[in-house]
Structure 1
């Protein structure tokens, strides 16, 4: 086993979740070999053609990555591993929201425009222009240990505060024994960029505790209005001290160079890269648990 390959414990969890071999036609190359090859490319940020021969043909790995990105297999695998972690009681539902900027490599630009202008085409693929040049922003709602419950990508100049409601709406953690999936965390911790009336109203309506500090301009505006400004929102300073977990999660996943720098032209492929890395982030917590029945 080479450095960075799936361990036996990780493979024991992941193997039963993978798509079955086709009944008709040629059989697929061994899943473990191909996934290890895909992980090598994404971990090192190398071109597909440079993938070592021990992982098989690079075209096989590339085509399987693209196929599973298109049909949602990577996202489904991540969701099923998170469900296993939830069944083990390993998910910390004191959620944290944040975003990180990713530099887009020159190879990420130039996707087919489909009748759109160059700027509109880039925006559709989650690439925008900010002071850092061509960038993509990754928005994440993580559990209390910094592992992503759900993520989305936007152009780099997109506002953080407008994405919180979208992230909350995407949370779906299935229960292995059946029943409705869990959708609501106990609380959401976020920095001042997420302090808006719309976000606080959304969290209050969902019964989620907001651990979000007020920025100075909002405090000054509330005080200027006097009694009409209302009371200051509740803020748990002790709980806010744990907000660094989401930042630690970003740091941990950005060790994968194919994620820390965007090389994928298409938003669907970069989202699949994100799903793969987040899947492995969760997978490494599950083997230490007593796994429940997966049926």
Structure 2
């Protein structure tokens, strides 16, 4: 096994989740292709510079795009989560946060007319932002991608509604965690109300301006929201999750022009974290 390639354990975990080829001529070995795709994003190299031992890049890139646009990586991630849930390996605690990713100049210039490339311009130039929810072990449950100038609280409900852990048998998927941890960026009345109506516990600190406004109004300001300091110390699991994702250089810096390709890379990295 070479550097950046899937271990035997990772391959045995991923192999049953890959789509089978039932028609046409025999295609290039899936493990060989997947090793090339993983190596490309882990090293941050260009498609044309992927080592030839993984096959021609004209084969790797079209298959990656076909799997990305067809939702293959998304289905594989859901299947991995379902396996963990069936084994009782998913707790009800969820941490939510976001991270900014610097976009390389090669990420600009996507063709117009399709989906938004999810790029935003800020002081640092072109950036994207990953809004993510992870479980108690720091494994990604769901994420959304926006421009880097998007506010965290605007994507909270979208991230939470993207959590869908399938059941191993009949029944609806798990979509509602027991408790959510978030930083001050998610301290808004709308978010607290959204969580309360769904019976989801929350540990989110108040911003300083919210505390001042509540105290200024006196009894009309209401009681302060409940806050468990001991439980909040576990919020760092989402930071560690981002740290593991950004060990992939093709994720720490965005080189992909299309949002679909970059999302597929994040999904693939998330899948291997469940392995």
SS class of match (1:134): strand
Aligned to 1:117: none
Aligned to 1:27: 26
In the TM superposition, what is the alpha-carbon distance from 1:175 to its structure 2 partner? 1.1
More moved, 139-148 vs 35-44: 139-148
Partners of 1:93 and 1:29 lie apart in 2 by 41
SS class of match (1:124): coil
Aligned to 2:137: 145
Aligned to 1:237: 229
Q: Deviations over 1:248-274 (max 9, x none)?
A: 010011000000000010011111111
Partners of 2:25 and 2:161 lie apart in 1 by 40
SS class of match (2:4): coil
Partners of 2:104 and 2:91 lie apart in 1 by 35
Partners of 1:67 and 1:207 lie apart in 2 by 39
Aligned to 2:87: 88
TM-score (norm 2): 0.97
Aligned to 2:18: 18
Residue 107 (structure 1) aligned with residue 106 (structure 2):
yes
SS class of match (2:220): helix
Residue 255 (structure 1) aligned with residue 254 (structure 2):
no
Partners of 2:55 and 2:74 lie apart in 1 by 24
Partners of 2:112 and 2:11 lie apart in 1 by 39
Partners of 1:3 and 1:164 lie apart in 2 by 37
Residue 36 (structure 1) aligned with residue 32 (structure 2):
no
Aligned to 1:157: 149
Partners of 2:108 and 2:145 lie apart in 1 by 15
Partners of 1:202 and 1:97 lie apart in 2 by 15
Q: Which of structure 1's runs of 4+ aligned residues deviate more than 4 A?
A: none
In the TM superposition, what is the alpha-carbon distance from 1:93 to its structure 2 partner? 2.1
Q: Deviations over 1:52-99 (max 9, x none)?
A: 121111111111111111111111111111111111222232000000
In the TM superposition, what is the alpha-carbon distance from 1:236 to its structure 2 partner? 0.6
Q: Deviations over 1:166-185 (max 9, x none)?
A: 11111100111221111111
What is the 5 A alignment of 1:210-221? 210-221=202-213
Partners of 2:25 and 2:145 lie apart in 1 by 35
Aligned to 1:79: 78
TM-score (norm 1): 0.91
In the TM superposition, what is the alpha-carbon distance from 1:22 to its structure 2 partner? 2.5
Residue 3 (structure 1) aligned with residue 3 (structure 2):
yes
Aligned to 2:195: 203
Residue 48 (structure 1) aligned with residue 77 (structure 2):
no
SS class of match (1:32): helix
Aligned CA RMSD, in angstroms, stands at 1.2
Aligned to 2:269: 277
SS class of match (2:251): helix
More moved, 49-58 vs 260-269: 49-58
Partners of 2:100 and 2:178 lie apart in 1 by 27
SS class of match (2:242): helix
Aligned residue pairs, count: 275
Aligned match of 2:126 in 130, 134, 138? 134
